[in-house]
Structure 1
C-alpha cells in the first residue's frame, strides 16, 4: 500500500561524479573535527582517530551499496536501510532510527552555517566579534545572524531543485580539492616544518579509553559523511553502478584527507596553532606562507565550501525525510514536493528546526553532539540491518551482493558503532563543550520523530494506489 504525493517523480539524471561533487565540500569539516580532537588527544591521537573512522566509513559504504541496490526506486539512503530492516519487528523503532538520520544531516546545516558566520566575522568583521542582541532567553551574535541568512539561502536554493545544488557544488568542489591538496603538499616545503610540537595523548593523564570513544563519537558524524552518495540512488542514471562507484570513491578521498591534512598542516602552524583556532588553521597556514591575500582567498573558498556543504546536507536530509514519509513512518506533509520535484515540506521543516537550534545552542561542538545521537543510532541499526535483511529479505533481488566474508565485517561494524554510541551518549562532558543538554535536545528530536509516526498511523490513513516499483536492469557484481 503506497500513497501519491504532490510533485513529479525523481528524474534519473545523476552520475557518480555528481554526488561525489556534492559530498566533497563536507570535507571542510576536517578543520573543526581534527582541531577539536587534537586539543584533547594531540595531533598524533587526532590523526589516528580520524583515520580509523574514515576506514570504518569505507567498510560501511560497501554494506550500504548492497542495500541501496535492493531498493532502486526508494530514496533515503541509510535512513531507508534502517527502516526496511527493522519495521517488520518494530515500526516505531524504524521510524525513530530513520528520523535520527535526519537529525544527523538536518542539524549539519546549523554547524556549517555557524562555521561560515565565525569565519566571516573573524576575517572581515573582527570589530563586531562582541556584538550581540539580547532576545530575553538567548543572546545572538553576528555569527548567528550571518548563519541564519546563509541557512535560509541554502534552503531556498534546494527548493529550486537538485540540479541547482549539483551545479553549484561542482564548482566549489574543485576549489576545495585544490585547497586540501595544498594543505597536504605545501606544508612539507615550509622551511620551519616540524613534528616536534606534536603530542600523543591517547592514554596520557586525563585521557583514557572512554575519552577516545567519545571523540570518535563526535568525529563520526562528519567522517561518515561519504554515505550521502547512497541517498540519491533512485536518481542515478545507473543506480547500482553509480551508487557503488560514488560510495567507494568518496570514502577513499575521506581517508586521504583525514589521515594527512591534520599532520601536514600542524607541522607548519604547530599543534597549538591547530588547537587554538580549529576552524581557521588552514586559512592561517596559507596566510603565513603566502601572505594575507592568500589567506583571504582561502577563507572565501572555505566559506563557499561550508555553503556548498549546507546545500548537500539540506538535500540529503530532505530526501531522507521524504523517503521516510513515503514509507508511512512520519507525517505525510514531509513527503510533499514542489513543481521542481524538490521535497518542499521536508526542507521547510528542516529550516525551522535549524533556526531554533542556531539561536538557542550555537556552539559547533554542542551541535555535533546533539546531532550525532540520532545519526549514530541510525547508522548502527543500518549496519545491523544488513545482517537482518540477509534473512528477512532473502527473496529480494541483490544486483550487488557481497560475499559471505562481509558478515563478520558487518558484525564488527555494528559492535564498534554501538560502543561509541553508548559511551559518547553517556559521557558528553568528555568532549569539549559537552554539558549534557545536547543529549536532551537529541532525545527531544527523536521523541518528535516518534510523535510524527503516531500521528501518521493514527490520523493519516494510507491511500491505496497502483504503484509499480521500477525494474532494475543492471547486472550485479560480487565483492
Structure 2
C-alpha cells in the first residue's frame, strides 16, 4: 500500500550529490543566532563548552542517523526512519499505535524545524530596523510580516523548480553569509580585541550549585542548544534525493558536523571574548552587532547586518526544505492526509511548502523569537528521542536484520543511541519545560504541547483516508486477478 500511495502523491527526484546536500544544510551554523546571548544568561562563559558538547552529541546521534539513511534510502531523514521502523510492518487494526508513534516522531520533527521560518523572519525585521531608520514608520510586527511574505514567496518560487536549484541558492547564500561570519569570528583574535580573561574570569555564574534547580536548568539549556547545534542532521533528510545515498549521506552529514563544531564554539568564544558575559547579556538578541562595531567600526555594523540578513535567508531555506520533506514523508507513509504529499513535475512537495508558509505567517504574531524556540525545542527533543529508539529497534528487530547497511555505525552503537534517546526523552523535555517556566512563562510550553497534540485528530483522519484508499484499490486488484 505504501508503494501505491507514494505513486499517488508523486516521487522525490534523485538529483543532488553530497556537496549540494551540504550546501543546503550549511544554514545550520546560523541557528546559533537566537541563542547566542541566551545560554550565557544561565551558564556565563561555560556556554562555549555547552555548544561544543552539543555538537559532539550531534555526532553521536547522526552516526546512527547515517546508518538509518543508508538502510532505508527511500526514507526522508528522521521523520522517515521512525515511521518506517515503527509503522511499516503488518498493521494491527485500523489504529496501529506503533504507526502513531512513528508519525508523532515525524510531526515533532516537523514542528522543530518549521518555526525557524517565523523566528528568522522576526529577526530579519529587527535587523532591517537597525539598517534603515526610515523603516521606523512600520512596527516590528509589520516589518517581520512583510519580511516573511517576501522571503517565503521567493523561496517557494526558487524551490518550485526542484531541490537542485535550491542547492544552487544555498551556494550563493553561503558565500554571502558564512564567509563574512567566519571573518567576523576570526577578526577579534587577529586584531587583539579578543580578551581570554573575559572568559576565564567568568566561566560559571557565581551562584551556580549542583542542586535540582540548576540541574534542571542544565538539561533545559542542553535542549535549547541541541535545537541549534545538532540540527545538521537535516543533511540526512534528503536521503531519497541523493544520487548515491550510500556514500552521499555520510559525507554530507559529517562534513557539516565538522563545520558546525568550529563555528558554534568559535562564534560564542569570540562574542564573549570581546564583550564579556555582562556585555553579551546586555545585547542578548544581537550580540554580533557590538562585536562588529568594536572590531570594524560603525561601517562594520552595517556590513554585519547585511551579512546576517543573507544568513537568515539561508537558514530559512534550510528549514523550509527540511520541514516540507517531513510533511511529504508523513503523507507517503499514511500519517498525514495524502494531499500534503503532492509534488510537481520537479519533485517539489508544493502543497506542504504552501501550508508551512501560511503557518509561519501566523506564528510571526507571537513576536518573541525566544518563545518560539522554546516551544519548538520540545518537538525537537521528542523527535530525536523517538528516532534514536527507532535505531535501537531497527538493530534488534529480526524484520530488519537482513537489510543492507552500506554505512554502519561502530560496534555497540545501540547503547550510545539508547543513552542519548533517554537523554532526550525524558530528561531534556523536562528540562526545557522547566526552563521555559522560568524564562518566558508557560505560554510557549502550552503552544508546544498544543501543536503536538493536534496531531492526534489529524492522524485519525489520515487513517480513515488510508483505509478508504485501500478499500478502493482492493476490488480493482480482484478484478484484474479474475
TM-score (norm 2): 0.88
Aligned-partner Cα distance in 2 for 1:420–1:47:
21
Question: What's the offset of the Cα at 1:6?
Answer: 5.7
The question of 1:398 aligning with 2:400 is answered: no
Say which structure is richer in helix.
2
Instruction: Give matches, 1:188-337, under 5 Å.
Output: 188-198=189-199, 199-201=202-204, 204-205=207-208, 208-337=214-343
Task: Tell me how large the CA RMSD over aligned residues is.
Answer: 2.4
What does residue 128 of structure 1 align with?
136
Give the 3-state SS of the residue equivalent to 1:390 in structure 2. helix
Q: 2:423 aligns with which of 416, 420, 423?
A: 416
CA contact (8 A) 1:333 1:345 kept: yes
Structure 1, residues 269-312: CA drift from partner, whole Å, max 9, x if none?
33333222234322332232223223212211210111111111
What does residue 137 of structure 1 align with?
none
The question of 1:369 aligning with 2:369 is answered: no
What does residue 65 of structure 1 align with?
66
Distance of aligned partners of 1:5 and 1:118 in 2 relative to their CA distance in 1, 3 Å threshold? farther
Aligned-partner Cα distance in 2 for 1:298–1:341:
36
Deviates most, 337-346 or 282-291:
282-291
What does residue 477 of structure 1 align with?
none
Q: Which runs of 5+ in 2 are unaligned?
A: 90-96, 477-482
CA contact (8 A) 2:227 2:377 kept: yes
Instruction: Give matches, 1:66-145, under 5 Å.
Output: 66-74=67-75, 76-87=76-87, 90-125=98-133, 128=136, 131-132=138-139, 140-145=141-146
CA contact (8 A) 1:183 1:265 kept: no
Length, aligned pairs only: 455
Distance of aligned partners of 1:65 and 1:308 in 2 relative to their CA distance in 1, 3 Å threshold? same
Aligned-partner Cα distance in 2 for 1:431–1:305:
30
CA contact (8 A) 1:5 1:336 kept: no
Question: What's the offset of the Cα at 1:337?
Answer: 1.1
Aligned-partner Cα distance in 1 for 2:378–2:455:
13
Distance of aligned partners of 1:16 and 1:431 in 2 relative to their CA distance in 1, 3 Å threshold? farther
Structure 1, residues 166-223: CA drift from partner, whole Å, max 9, x if none?
1111012133332232234211133443233342336734871111111111121111
Aligned-partner Cα distance in 2 for 1:127–1:149:
16
Distance of aligned partners of 1:447 and 1:73 in 2 relative to their CA distance in 1, 3 Å threshold? same
Aligned-partner Cα distance in 1 for 2:222–2:359:
26
Aligned-partner Cα distance in 2 for 1:150–1:250:
24
CA contact (8 A) 1:155 1:311 kept: no
What does residue 344 of structure 1 align with?
350
CA contact (8 A) 2:381 2:429 kept: no
Aligned-partner Cα distance in 2 for 1:429–1:161:
38
What does residue 12 of structure 1 align with?
14
TM-score (norm 1): 0.88
Distance of aligned partners of 1:371 and 1:163 in 2 relative to their CA distance in 1, 3 Å threshold? same
Distance of aligned partners of 1:289 and 1:68 in 2 relative to their CA distance in 1, 3 Å threshold? same
